[in-house]
């Protein structure tokens, strides 16, 4: 029983993630090719929200087939037909990619919620174990 609960909690952590994902158009992605002087850049997502991108921000492009390719901000080159990310050994055809990119930011509230959920699950198992523990003996 505890293995099933542990597996369910692990899958929940992996599936839910702790990130807010912002979708930006390719034109905004193009501005992230070179590092600005301040070390961070601000782009607008599809909904008009300002999104700050730093060196350590998670940035992705997605193929039309759905595969997600991580790229490093300020360390790639886009031409008219290709996206080249030399640190990841990618040379991707722009015609095979969606016209958007994804920026992931760590979500404090999602992280706190997942940790709280995990702690509550563990506490519930401990309480359940204490309440159901008893001394039964088998008679011969």
Full-prediction pTM beyond 0.75? no
Would you state the pLDDT for residue 120?
83
Q: What is the DSSP string of 36-80?
A: -TTSEEEEE-TTS-EEEEETT-EEEEEETTS-EEEE-TTS-EE-S
- C-alpha 53/C-alpha 51 separation (Å) is 6
- Candidate from 33-37, 93-97, 99-103 with smallest mean pLDDT: 33-37
Q: Is the dihedral of CA 47, 53, 57, 62 positive or negative?
A: positive
- What residue spans define the domains of the chain? 18-114
The mean per-residue pLDDT over the stretch 84-93 comes to: 93
* 18-27 tens-digit pLDDT: 888 999 999 9
| C-alpha to C-alpha distance for 58 and 53, rounded to whole angstroms | 8
């Amino acid at each position: 029983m505890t293995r099933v609960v542990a597996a369910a909690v692990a899958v929940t952590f992996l599936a839910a993630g702790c990130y807010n994902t912002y979708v930006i158009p390719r034109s905004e992605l193009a501005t992230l090719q070179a590092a600005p002087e301040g070390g961070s850049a601000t782009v607008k997502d599809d909904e008009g929200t300002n999104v700050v991108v730093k060196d350590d921000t998670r940035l992705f492009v997605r193929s039309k087939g759905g595969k997600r390719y991580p790229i490093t901000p300020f360390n790639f080159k886009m031409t008219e037909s290709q996206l080249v990310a030399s640190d990841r050994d990618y040379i991707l055809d722009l015609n095979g990619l969606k016209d958007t990119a994804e920026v992931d930011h760590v979500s404090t509230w999602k992280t706190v919620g997942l940790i709280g959920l995990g702690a509550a699950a563990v506490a519930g198992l401990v309480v359940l174990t204490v309440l159901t523990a008893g001394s039964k003996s088998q008679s011969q």
